[in-house]
Amino acid sequence: MSLLAAKNLTVGYDGHGVLSDINFEINQGDYFCIVGENGSGKTTLMKTILGLQSPIEGKIEYGDGFSKNEIGYLPQQTEVQRDFPASVFEIVLSGCQNSLGRRFFYSDEQKKLAYKNIKKMGIADLKNRCYRELSGGQQQRVLLARALCATKRALLLDEPVAGLDPNVTSEMYQLIKELNDEGLTIIMISHDIQNIQNYASHIYDVNRGKEAPSC
Amino acid sequence: MLDKLFMYLEFPYVRYAIIVGVLIALCSSLLGVTLVLKRYSFIGDGLSHVAFGALAIATVLNFTNRMLIVLPLTIVSAILLLRKGQNAKVKGDAAIAMISVGALAFGYLLMNVFPSSSNVSGDVCSTLFGSQSILTLTQTEVLVSGILAVIVVGIFIIFYNRIFAITFDENFANAVGTNVGFYNLLIATVIAIIIVLAMNLVGSLLISALVIFPALSAMRILKSFRAVIVFSAISSVTCALAGLLISILAGTPVGSTIVAVDVLLFFTCTIVGRIKA
Ligand SMILES: Nc1ncnc2c1ncn2[C@@H]1O[C@H](COP(=O)(O)OP(=O)(O)OP(=O)(O)O)[C@@H](O)[C@H]1O
Ligand SMILES: [Mg+2]
Protein backbone atom coordinates (compact mmCIF):
# COMPACT_ATOMS: atom_id res chain seq x y z
CA MET A 1 0.00 0.00 0.00
CA SER A 2 1.41 3.39 -0.95
CA LEU A 3 1.72 6.29 1.45
CA LEU A 4 -0.17 8.65 -0.78
CA ALA A 5 -1.93 8.28 -4.11
CA ALA A 6 -3.66 10.72 -6.42
CA LYS A 7 -6.49 9.17 -8.44
CA ASN A 8 -7.82 11.10 -11.45
CA LEU A 9 -7.32 14.22 -9.41
CA THR A 10 -8.32 17.70 -10.57
CA VAL A 11 -7.14 20.63 -8.45
CA GLY A 12 -8.07 24.29 -8.72
CA TYR A 13 -10.04 27.15 -7.24
CA ASP A 14 -13.76 27.89 -7.03
CA GLY A 15 -14.76 24.91 -9.15
CA HIS A 16 -12.31 25.77 -11.94
CA GLY A 17 -9.59 23.24 -12.52
CA VAL A 18 -5.99 24.39 -12.83
CA LEU A 19 -4.57 20.91 -13.28
CA SER A 20 -6.48 17.76 -14.15
CA ASP A 21 -5.96 14.02 -14.65
CA ILE A 22 -3.30 13.84 -11.98
CA ASN A 23 -2.31 10.29 -11.16
CA PHE A 24 0.63 9.22 -9.07
CA GLU A 25 1.66 7.06 -6.16
CA ILE A 26 4.18 7.93 -3.52
CA ASN A 27 5.70 5.21 -1.38
CA GLN A 28 7.43 5.40 1.96
CA GLY A 29 11.01 6.57 1.42
CA ASP A 30 10.45 8.13 -1.99
CA TYR A 31 12.11 11.38 -3.01
CA PHE A 32 9.29 12.76 -5.13
CA CYS A 33 9.83 15.96 -7.05
CA ILE A 34 7.13 18.03 -8.69
CA VAL A 35 8.26 20.27 -11.53
CA GLY A 36 6.52 22.63 -13.95
CA GLU A 37 6.32 26.21 -15.13
CA ASN A 38 5.25 29.18 -13.03
CA GLY A 39 1.52 29.18 -12.53
CA SER A 40 1.08 25.59 -13.68
CA GLY A 41 -0.53 24.55 -10.40
CA LYS A 42 2.24 22.94 -8.35
CA THR A 43 1.46 24.85 -5.18
CA THR A 44 -2.23 24.20 -5.70
CA LEU A 45 -1.51 20.48 -5.97
CA MET A 46 0.56 20.49 -2.79
CA LYS A 47 -2.13 22.36 -0.87
CA THR A 48 -4.65 19.80 -2.03
CA ILE A 49 -2.37 16.96 -0.89
CA LEU A 50 -2.20 18.67 2.51
CA GLY A 51 -5.96 19.07 2.71
CA LEU A 52 -5.79 22.88 2.76
CA GLN A 53 -8.23 22.89 -0.15
CA SER A 54 -10.49 20.18 -1.46
CA PRO A 55 -10.06 18.45 -4.82
CA ILE A 56 -12.41 19.51 -7.59
CA GLU A 57 -12.55 15.97 -8.89
CA GLY A 58 -10.99 12.66 -8.01
CA LYS A 59 -9.29 12.04 -4.70
CA ILE A 60 -6.14 11.69 -2.66
CA GLU A 61 -5.79 8.43 -0.82
CA TYR A 62 -3.68 8.08 2.28
CA GLY A 63 -2.41 4.60 3.03
CA ASP A 64 -0.05 2.80 5.32
CA GLY A 65 -1.58 4.35 8.44
CA PHE A 66 -0.28 7.73 7.33
CA SER A 67 -1.73 10.66 9.23
CA LYS A 68 -1.46 14.42 8.95
CA ASN A 69 0.44 14.94 12.16
CA GLU A 70 3.41 13.08 10.70
CA ILE A 71 3.89 15.77 8.07
CA GLY A 72 6.36 18.61 7.96
CA TYR A 73 5.50 21.43 5.59
CA LEU A 74 7.33 24.38 4.13
CA PRO A 75 4.93 26.78 2.41
CA GLN A 76 6.07 28.75 -0.63
CA GLN A 77 4.84 31.93 0.90
CA THR A 78 3.76 32.46 4.46
CA GLU A 79 1.30 35.23 4.85
CA VAL A 80 2.75 36.47 8.08
CA GLN A 81 1.66 39.88 9.21
CA ARG A 82 4.43 42.38 8.79
CA ASP A 83 4.06 43.48 12.39
CA PHE A 84 3.86 39.99 13.91
CA PRO A 85 5.93 39.84 17.10
CA ALA A 86 7.47 36.37 17.30
CA SER A 87 10.98 35.21 18.05
CA VAL A 88 12.76 32.69 15.85
CA PHE A 89 12.70 30.12 18.65
CA GLU A 90 8.96 30.51 19.20
CA ILE A 91 8.30 29.91 15.52
CA VAL A 92 10.57 26.89 15.18
CA LEU A 93 9.14 25.38 18.36
CA SER A 94 5.63 25.75 16.96
CA GLY A 95 6.66 23.09 14.44
CA CYS A 96 6.33 20.62 17.31
CA GLN A 97 2.60 21.37 17.63
CA ASN A 98 1.64 18.13 15.88
CA SER A 99 3.40 16.04 18.51
CA LEU A 100 1.77 17.80 21.45
CA GLY A 101 -0.97 15.15 21.44
CA ARG A 102 -3.07 15.68 24.54
CA ARG A 103 -0.47 17.77 26.28
CA PHE A 104 -0.68 21.54 26.43
CA PHE A 105 2.94 22.58 26.77
CA TYR A 106 6.11 21.67 24.93
CA SER A 107 8.41 19.17 26.65
CA ASP A 108 12.13 19.64 27.16
CA GLU A 109 12.78 17.12 24.37
CA GLN A 110 10.71 19.17 21.98
CA LYS A 111 12.59 22.31 22.94
CA LYS A 112 15.86 20.46 22.37
CA LEU A 113 14.63 19.29 18.99
CA ALA A 114 13.76 22.86 18.07
CA TYR A 115 17.20 24.04 19.09
CA LYS A 116 18.85 21.19 17.20
CA ASN A 117 17.05 22.17 14.00
CA ILE A 118 17.89 25.83 14.52
CA LYS A 119 21.55 24.85 14.68
CA LYS A 120 21.16 22.56 11.68
CA MET A 121 19.90 25.52 9.65
CA GLY A 122 22.80 27.65 10.85
CA ILE A 123 20.67 30.30 12.53
CA ALA A 124 21.61 29.67 16.16
CA ASP A 125 22.73 33.27 16.58
CA LEU A 126 19.32 34.49 15.44
CA LYS A 127 17.46 32.38 18.00
CA ASN A 128 16.04 35.28 19.96
CA ARG A 129 15.68 37.71 17.09
CA CYS A 130 12.31 38.90 15.87
CA TYR A 131 11.18 37.02 12.75
CA ARG A 132 9.95 40.12 10.97
CA GLU A 133 13.38 41.71 11.14
CA LEU A 134 15.15 38.91 9.29
CA SER A 135 16.12 38.79 5.62
CA GLY A 136 14.16 36.66 3.18
CA GLY A 137 16.75 33.88 3.17
CA GLN A 138 16.97 33.87 6.96
CA GLN A 139 13.19 33.66 7.22
CA GLN A 140 13.24 30.73 4.80
CA ARG A 141 15.67 28.90 7.06
CA VAL A 142 13.50 29.55 10.10
CA LEU A 143 10.50 28.03 8.31
CA LEU A 144 12.62 25.08 7.21
CA ALA A 145 13.69 24.48 10.80
CA ARG A 146 10.01 24.57 11.76
CA ALA A 147 9.17 22.03 9.05
CA LEU A 148 11.96 19.77 10.31
CA CYS A 149 10.44 19.90 13.81
CA ALA A 150 7.09 18.82 12.46
CA THR A 151 8.14 15.97 10.21
CA LYS A 152 8.02 12.34 11.24
CA ARG A 153 7.30 10.42 8.06
CA ALA A 154 6.95 12.93 5.26
CA LEU A 155 8.35 16.32 4.43
CA LEU A 156 6.52 18.51 1.91
CA LEU A 157 8.59 21.38 0.59
CA ASP A 158 7.38 24.09 -1.76
CA GLU A 159 10.50 25.53 -3.39
CA PRO A 160 12.76 25.09 -0.36
CA VAL A 161 15.86 26.65 -1.89
CA ALA A 162 14.23 29.77 -3.30
CA GLY A 163 16.11 32.74 -1.88
CA LEU A 164 18.97 30.74 -0.36
CA ASP A 165 22.58 31.43 -1.27
CA PRO A 166 24.54 28.75 -3.23
CA ASN A 167 26.35 27.42 -0.15
CA VAL A 168 23.20 26.96 1.85
CA THR A 169 21.42 25.58 -1.20
CA SER A 170 23.84 22.68 -1.56
CA GLU A 171 23.83 22.12 2.20
CA MET A 172 20.05 22.11 2.00
CA TYR A 173 20.02 19.39 -0.67
CA GLN A 174 22.53 17.41 1.33
CA LEU A 175 20.36 17.69 4.42
CA ILE A 176 17.20 16.69 2.59
CA LYS A 177 19.05 13.74 1.11
CA GLU A 178 20.20 12.64 4.55
CA LEU A 179 16.67 12.84 5.88
CA ASN A 180 15.52 10.82 2.89
CA ASP A 181 18.20 8.21 3.58
CA GLU A 182 16.91 7.97 7.15
CA GLY A 183 13.59 6.86 5.68
CA LEU A 184 11.70 10.12 5.45
CA THR A 185 9.48 10.57 2.40
CA ILE A 186 10.26 13.79 0.55
CA ILE A 187 7.74 15.58 -1.64
CA MET A 188 9.32 18.66 -3.11
CA ILE A 189 8.44 21.34 -5.63
CA SER A 190 11.44 22.81 -7.36
CA HIS A 191 12.62 24.58 -10.50
CA ASP A 192 16.17 23.48 -9.91
CA ILE A 193 16.13 20.63 -12.47
CA GLN A 194 19.87 20.04 -12.34
CA ASN A 195 20.07 19.36 -8.63
CA ILE A 196 16.81 17.46 -8.61
CA GLN A 197 18.07 14.96 -11.15
CA ASN A 198 20.90 14.08 -8.83
CA TYR A 199 18.73 13.47 -5.82
CA ALA A 200 15.14 12.63 -6.70
CA SER A 201 13.87 9.09 -7.07
CA HIS A 202 10.78 10.28 -8.97
CA ILE A 203 10.11 13.42 -10.96
CA TYR A 204 6.55 14.42 -11.75
CA ASP A 205 6.06 17.03 -14.46
CA VAL A 206 2.66 18.63 -13.99
CA ASN A 207 2.55 19.84 -17.60
CA ARG A 208 3.02 16.45 -19.13
CA GLY A 209 1.01 14.82 -16.39
CA LYS A 210 3.42 11.95 -16.44
CA GLU A 211 5.73 10.57 -13.89
CA ALA A 212 9.19 10.19 -15.33
CA PRO A 213 11.33 7.99 -13.12
CA SER A 214 14.86 9.30 -13.06
CA CYS A 215 18.03 7.39 -12.31
CA MET B 1 -6.70 62.26 48.73
CA LEU B 2 -5.94 58.79 50.13
CA ASP B 3 -8.59 59.41 52.79
CA LYS B 4 -11.09 60.07 50.05
CA LEU B 5 -10.02 56.90 48.27
CA PHE B 6 -10.35 54.75 51.40
CA MET B 7 -13.72 56.30 52.09
CA TYR B 8 -14.92 55.24 48.65
CA LEU B 9 -13.44 51.79 49.07
CA GLU B 10 -15.76 51.30 52.05
CA PHE B 11 -18.64 51.00 49.58
CA PRO B 12 -19.07 47.47 48.26
CA TYR B 13 -20.13 48.71 44.80
CA VAL B 14 -16.83 50.52 44.40
CA ARG B 15 -14.92 47.40 45.35
CA TYR B 16 -17.04 45.35 42.95
CA ALA B 17 -16.32 47.80 40.17
CA ILE B 18 -12.58 47.57 40.76
CA ILE B 19 -12.57 43.76 40.89
CA VAL B 20 -14.64 43.38 37.73
CA GLY B 21 -12.74 46.15 35.96
CA VAL B 22 -9.38 44.49 36.51
CA LEU B 23 -10.70 41.07 35.47
CA ILE B 24 -12.10 42.44 32.23
CA ALA B 25 -8.96 44.35 31.43
CA LEU B 26 -6.94 41.17 31.91
CA CYS B 27 -9.18 38.98 29.72
CA SER B 28 -9.59 41.47 26.90
CA SER B 29 -5.87 42.15 26.64
CA LEU B 30 -5.03 38.43 26.40
CA LEU B 31 -7.19 37.79 23.38
CA GLY B 32 -6.56 41.26 22.00
CA VAL B 33 -3.12 40.28 20.73
CA THR B 34 -4.53 37.36 18.73
CA LEU B 35 -7.41 39.48 17.42
CA VAL B 36 -5.20 42.29 16.23
CA LEU B 37 -2.74 39.91 14.59
CA LYS B 38 -5.42 37.82 12.89
CA ARG B 39 -6.95 41.04 11.59
CA TYR B 40 -10.11 40.34 13.52
CA SER B 41 -10.15 43.70 15.29
CA PHE B 42 -13.46 44.40 13.59
CA ILE B 43 -15.09 41.48 15.38
CA GLY B 44 -14.87 43.29 18.71
CA ASP B 45 -16.85 46.18 17.30
CA GLY B 46 -19.44 44.00 15.59
CA LEU B 47 -19.94 41.77 18.60
CA SER B 48 -20.34 44.62 21.03
CA HIS B 49 -23.21 45.90 18.91
CA VAL B 50 -24.76 42.47 18.89
CA ALA B 51 -24.39 42.39 22.65
CA PHE B 52 -26.07 45.80 22.79
CA GLY B 53 -29.01 44.50 20.75
CA ALA B 54 -29.24 41.42 22.96
CA LEU B 55 -29.16 43.63 26.02
CA ALA B 56 -32.08 45.61 24.65
CA ILE B 57 -34.04 42.41 24.15
CA ALA B 58 -33.20 41.28 27.67
CA THR B 59 -34.25 44.66 29.08
CA VAL B 60 -37.53 44.67 27.19
CA LEU B 61 -38.27 41.10 28.25
CA ASN B 62 -37.48 42.19 31.80
CA PHE B 63 -34.90 39.52 32.51
CA THR B 64 -33.43 39.77 35.99
CA ASN B 65 -30.14 38.22 34.91
CA ARG B 66 -29.57 39.81 31.54
CA MET B 67 -26.40 37.82 30.91
CA LEU B 68 -28.56 34.74 30.37
CA ILE B 69 -29.77 36.15 27.07
CA VAL B 70 -26.83 38.35 26.10
CA LEU B 71 -24.14 35.68 26.39
CA PRO B 72 -25.69 32.95 24.18
CA LEU B 73 -26.73 35.44 21.49
CA THR B 74 -23.27 37.00 21.33
CA ILE B 75 -21.52 33.62 21.24
CA VAL B 76 -23.69 32.45 18.35
CA SER B 77 -22.98 35.66 16.45
CA ALA B 78 -19.24 35.34 17.08
CA ILE B 79 -19.23 31.83 15.67
CA LEU B 80 -21.26 32.93 12.64
CA LEU B 81 -19.06 35.95 11.98
CA LEU B 82 -15.87 33.91 12.21
CA ARG B 83 -17.32 31.29 9.86
CA LYS B 84 -18.18 34.03 7.38
CA GLY B 85 -14.70 35.45 7.71
CA GLN B 86 -13.18 32.11 6.70
CA ASN B 87 -15.43 31.64 3.70
CA ALA B 88 -13.89 33.55 0.83
CA LYS B 89 -17.09 33.70 -1.17
CA VAL B 90 -18.95 35.74 1.41
CA LYS B 91 -17.58 39.20 1.85
CA GLY B 92 -16.66 39.05 5.52
CA ASP B 93 -16.50 42.78 6.22
CA ALA B 94 -19.93 43.39 4.70
CA ALA B 95 -21.47 40.58 6.77
CA ILE B 96 -19.99 42.01 9.94
CA ALA B 97 -21.06 45.55 9.13
CA MET B 98 -24.56 44.29 8.40
CA ILE B 99 -24.93 42.34 11.64
CA SER B 100 -23.26 45.05 13.67
CA VAL B 101 -25.30 47.98 12.37
CA GLY B 102 -28.47 45.89 12.26
CA ALA B 103 -28.13 44.82 15.87
CA LEU B 104 -27.41 48.37 17.00
CA ALA B 105 -30.43 49.79 15.18
CA PHE B 106 -32.66 46.95 16.31
CA GLY B 107 -31.60 47.38 19.92
CA TYR B 108 -32.21 51.12 19.87
CA LEU B 109 -35.58 50.59 18.20
CA LEU B 110 -36.61 48.08 20.86
CA MET B 111 -35.60 50.41 23.66
CA ASN B 112 -37.69 53.18 22.16
CA VAL B 113 -40.78 51.15 21.33
CA PHE B 114 -40.82 49.37 24.68
CA PRO B 115 -39.22 51.88 27.05
CA SER B 116 -38.44 50.14 30.33
CA SER B 117 -37.70 53.44 32.00
CA SER B 118 -38.66 57.03 31.26
CA ASN B 119 -35.12 58.01 30.28
CA VAL B 120 -34.49 56.06 27.04
CA SER B 121 -31.59 58.09 25.74
CA GLY B 122 -29.95 57.98 29.16
CA ASP B 123 -30.28 54.20 29.15
CA VAL B 124 -28.84 53.92 25.66
CA CYS B 125 -26.00 56.25 26.55
CA SER B 126 -25.02 54.22 29.58
CA THR B 127 -25.17 50.98 27.63
CA LEU B 128 -22.97 52.38 24.92
CA PHE B 129 -20.50 54.17 27.15
CA GLY B 130 -20.91 52.08 30.29
CA SER B 131 -20.78 55.19 32.42
CA GLN B 132 -23.22 54.03 35.07
CA SER B 133 -23.47 50.28 34.89
CA ILE B 134 -20.17 49.47 36.53
CA LEU B 135 -21.28 51.17 39.72
CA THR B 136 -24.54 49.25 39.82
CA LEU B 137 -23.08 45.76 39.72
CA THR B 138 -24.76 43.19 41.93
CA GLN B 139 -22.91 40.55 43.87
CA THR B 140 -24.15 37.89 41.46
CA GLU B 141 -22.79 39.81 38.50
CA VAL B 142 -19.42 40.10 40.16
CA LEU B 143 -19.45 36.38 40.82
CA VAL B 144 -20.42 35.55 37.23
CA SER B 145 -17.73 37.90 35.91
CA GLY B 146 -15.18 36.27 38.17
CA ILE B 147 -16.05 32.77 37.02
CA LEU B 148 -16.04 33.75 33.36
CA ALA B 149 -12.70 35.51 33.77
CA VAL B 150 -11.16 32.43 35.37
CA ILE B 151 -12.46 30.32 32.47
CA VAL B 152 -11.07 32.73 29.88
CA VAL B 153 -7.64 32.99 31.48
CA GLY B 154 -7.56 29.22 32.01
CA ILE B 155 -8.42 28.48 28.39
CA PHE B 156 -5.85 30.98 27.22
CA ILE B 157 -3.03 29.50 29.29
CA ILE B 158 -3.93 25.90 28.48
CA PHE B 159 -4.17 26.53 24.74
CA TYR B 160 -1.45 29.17 24.59
CA ASN B 161 0.80 27.13 22.27
CA ARG B 162 -2.02 26.26 19.91
CA ILE B 163 -3.31 29.82 19.88
CA PHE B 164 0.17 31.02 18.95
CA ALA B 165 0.44 28.37 16.23
CA ILE B 166 -2.80 29.25 14.48
CA THR B 167 -2.31 32.97 14.95
CA PHE B 168 1.12 32.85 13.36
CA ASP B 169 0.38 30.50 10.48
CA GLU B 170 -3.05 28.96 10.16
CA ASN B 171 -2.18 27.07 6.96
CA PHE B 172 0.82 25.37 8.49
CA ALA B 173 -1.18 24.42 11.57
CA ASN B 174 -3.89 22.98 9.36
CA ALA B 175 -1.37 21.13 7.18
CA VAL B 176 0.28 19.36 10.11
CA GLY B 177 -3.03 18.24 11.54
CA THR B 178 -3.93 20.82 14.20
CA ASN B 179 -7.70 21.14 14.49
CA VAL B 180 -7.83 24.74 13.33
CA GLY B 181 -11.62 24.82 13.03
CA PHE B 182 -12.06 23.85 16.67
CA TYR B 183 -9.58 26.42 17.96
CA ASN B 184 -11.13 29.18 15.87
CA LEU B 185 -14.48 28.23 17.39
CA LEU B 186 -12.92 28.33 20.83
CA ILE B 187 -11.41 31.76 20.16
CA ALA B 188 -14.79 33.01 18.89
CA THR B 189 -16.53 31.80 22.03
CA VAL B 190 -13.94 33.30 24.34
CA ILE B 191 -14.11 36.61 22.47
CA ALA B 192 -17.88 36.67 22.87
CA ILE B 193 -17.53 36.04 26.60
CA ILE B 194 -15.01 38.85 26.92
CA ILE B 195 -17.19 41.30 25.00
CA VAL B 196 -20.18 40.55 27.20
CA LEU B 197 -18.02 40.91 30.30
CA ALA B 198 -16.54 44.16 29.09
CA MET B 199 -19.90 45.72 28.30
CA ASN B 200 -20.48 46.06 32.02
CA LEU B 201 -17.33 48.07 32.41
CA VAL B 202 -16.78 50.29 29.43
CA GLY B 203 -19.98 49.86 27.45
CA SER B 204 -20.19 48.51 23.92
CA LEU B 205 -18.61 51.45 22.09
CA LEU B 206 -15.37 51.41 24.00
CA ILE B 207 -14.83 47.65 24.04
CA SER B 208 -12.70 47.65 20.93
CA ALA B 209 -10.34 50.11 22.57
CA LEU B 210 -9.92 47.83 25.57
CA VAL B 211 -9.21 44.85 23.32
CA ILE B 212 -6.88 46.59 20.90
CA PHE B 213 -4.86 49.24 22.75
CA PRO B 214 -2.87 47.05 25.17
CA ALA B 215 -1.91 44.73 22.29
CA LEU B 216 -0.85 47.60 20.05
CA SER B 217 1.14 49.23 22.84
CA ALA B 218 3.02 46.00 23.56
CA MET B 219 3.71 45.42 19.87
CA ARG B 220 5.38 48.82 19.60
CA ILE B 221 8.21 47.85 21.91
CA LEU B 222 8.43 44.05 22.18
CA LYS B 223 9.48 41.38 19.76
CA SER B 224 8.42 37.99 21.00
CA PHE B 225 4.87 36.71 21.26
CA ARG B 226 5.14 35.76 24.90
CA ALA B 227 6.61 39.10 25.91
CA VAL B 228 3.83 40.90 24.04
CA ILE B 229 1.14 38.83 25.78
CA VAL B 230 2.64 39.34 29.23
CA PHE B 231 3.21 43.05 28.73
CA SER B 232 -0.26 43.71 27.35
CA ALA B 233 -1.87 41.79 30.23
CA ILE B 234 0.11 43.70 32.85
CA SER B 235 -0.30 47.08 31.19
CA SER B 236 -4.01 46.56 30.61
CA VAL B 237 -4.59 45.69 34.27
CA THR B 238 -2.49 48.66 35.39
CA CYS B 239 -4.30 51.06 33.07
CA ALA B 240 -7.69 49.76 34.18
CA LEU B 241 -6.76 50.16 37.83
CA ALA B 242 -5.38 53.64 37.26
CA GLY B 243 -8.40 54.64 35.19
CA LEU B 244 -10.82 53.34 37.81
CA LEU B 245 -9.09 55.15 40.67
CA ILE B 246 -8.87 58.39 38.70
CA SER B 247 -12.52 58.20 37.78
CA ILE B 248 -13.51 57.56 41.40
CA LEU B 249 -11.44 60.47 42.68
CA ALA B 250 -12.10 62.92 39.86
CA GLY B 251 -15.66 61.85 39.20
CA THR B 252 -15.03 61.20 35.49
CA PRO B 253 -16.88 58.48 33.51
CA VAL B 254 -15.24 55.09 34.15
CA GLY B 255 -15.03 53.68 30.63
CA SER B 256 -13.68 56.79 28.95
CA THR B 257 -11.13 57.34 31.71
CA ILE B 258 -9.72 53.83 31.36
CA VAL B 259 -9.48 54.17 27.60
CA ALA B 260 -7.82 57.57 27.97
CA VAL B 261 -5.13 55.96 30.14
CA ASP B 262 -4.74 53.18 27.56
CA VAL B 263 -4.29 55.74 24.78
CA LEU B 264 -1.69 57.55 26.86
CA LEU B 265 0.26 54.32 27.31
CA PHE B 266 0.04 53.64 23.60
CA PHE B 267 1.67 56.95 22.75
CA THR B 268 4.32 56.42 25.40
CA CYS B 269 5.11 53.00 23.92
CA THR B 270 5.20 54.41 20.41
CA ILE B 271 7.76 57.00 21.47
CA VAL B 272 9.82 54.41 23.36
CA GLY B 273 9.69 52.13 20.31
CA ARG B 274 10.93 54.95 18.07
CA ILE B 275 13.79 55.78 20.40
CA LYS B 276 14.84 52.11 20.63
CA ALA B 277 14.82 51.71 16.85
N1 LIG C 1 -6.17 31.78 -4.30
C2 LIG C 1 -6.31 31.61 -5.63
N3 LIG C 1 -7.53 31.80 -6.23
C4 LIG C 1 -7.68 31.61 -7.53
N5 LIG C 1 -6.70 31.25 -8.39
C6 LIG C 1 -5.48 31.05 -7.88
C7 LIG C 1 -5.22 31.22 -6.46
N8 LIG C 1 -3.91 30.95 -6.25
C9 LIG C 1 -3.39 30.64 -7.45
N10 LIG C 1 -4.31 30.69 -8.43
C11 LIG C 1 -4.10 30.39 -9.85
O12 LIG C 1 -3.86 29.00 -9.99
C13 LIG C 1 -2.81 28.77 -10.92
C14 LIG C 1 -1.76 27.87 -10.31
O15 LIG C 1 -1.13 28.54 -9.22
P16 LIG C 1 0.00 27.86 -8.35
O17 LIG C 1 0.31 28.77 -7.24
O18 LIG C 1 -0.44 26.48 -8.01
O19 LIG C 1 1.21 27.79 -9.39
P20 LIG C 1 2.66 27.20 -9.18
O21 LIG C 1 2.81 26.06 -10.14
O22 LIG C 1 2.93 26.91 -7.76
O23 LIG C 1 3.58 28.41 -9.69
P24 LIG C 1 5.01 28.93 -9.14
O25 LIG C 1 6.06 28.14 -9.82
O26 LIG C 1 5.05 30.35 -9.58
O27 LIG C 1 5.02 28.80 -7.66
C28 LIG C 1 -2.29 30.13 -11.35
O29 LIG C 1 -2.77 30.39 -12.65
C30 LIG C 1 -2.88 31.10 -10.38
O31 LIG C 1 -3.24 32.30 -11.03
MG1 LIG D 1 4.12 27.66 -6.31
Residue nearest to atom 14 of ligand 1 (CA): A41
Q: Which residue of B has its CA nearest to A103?
A: B158
**Cβ–Cβ of A85/B225 closer than 8 Å?**
yes
* pLDDT value for B88: 45
* pLDDT value for B236: 95
Cα–Cα distance between B95 and B81 in angstroms, integer?
A: 7
Is the pTM value of this prediction over 0.90? no
How many CA atoms lie within 13 Å of B277's alpha carbon, on the beta-carbon side?
11
Nearest to A106 among B161, B171, B219 (CB): B161
pLDDT, tens only, A170-189: 888 988 998 899 899 999 99
pLDDT, tens only, B157-191: 999 999 999 989 888 999 999 998 899 889 888 88
Which parts of chain A register pLDDT below 50? 215
Cα–Cα distance between A195 and A181 in angstroms, integer?
A: 17
Nearest to A94 among B164, B222, B227 (CB): B164
Q: Strand A57-62's sheet: what is its strand order?
A: A16-26, A4-13, A57-62
* pLDDT value for B91: 53
Q: What backbone torsions phi and psi does residue A152 show, to the nearest 5 degrees?
A: -130, -40
Could you tell me the sign of the dihedral formed by the alpha carbons of A47, A51, A54, A55, in that order?
A: positive
| Residues contacting residue B131 through CB under 8 Å, at least 6 positions apart | B125, B203, B253, B254, B255, B256
* pLDDT value for B201: 64
* pLDDT value for A215: 45
* pLDDT value for B265: 96
For residue A171, the distance in angstroms to the closest alpha carbon of chain B comes to: 24
* Nearest ligand atom owner, CA of A157: 2
Q: Which of B169, B176, B186, B220 to mutate to test the interface with A (most CBs of A within 10 A)?
A: B176
Q: What is the DSSP letter of A124?
A: G
What is the A190 CA–ligand 1 centroid distance (Å)?
Answer: 15
Residues of chain A with CATH 3.40.50.300: 1-66+154-165+185-215
Residues with CB under 6 A from ligand 1: A 13, 18, 36, 38-44, 76
What atom in ligand 1 is closest to the CA of residue A13?
4
Three-state DSSP state, A83? coil
Which parts of chain B register pLDDT below 50? 87-90
For residue B71, the distance in angstroms to the closest alpha carbon of chain A comes to: 27
Q: Where do runs of H (alpha helix) occur along A50-130?
A: 88-93, 108-120
Q: Does domain A1-66+154-165+185-215 have CATH number 3.40.50.300?
A: yes
According to DSSP, the residues that pair with A31 across neighbouring strands are: A186
Residue nearest to atom 1 of ligand 1 (CA): A13
Q: What is the bridge-based pairing of β-strands A154-158 and A185-189? A: parallel
* pLDDT value for B115: 73
A66 within 8 A of A112, measured Cβ to Cβ = no
| Superfamily name with CATH number, domain B2-271 | ABC transporter involved in vitamin B12 uptake, BtuC (1.10.3470.10)
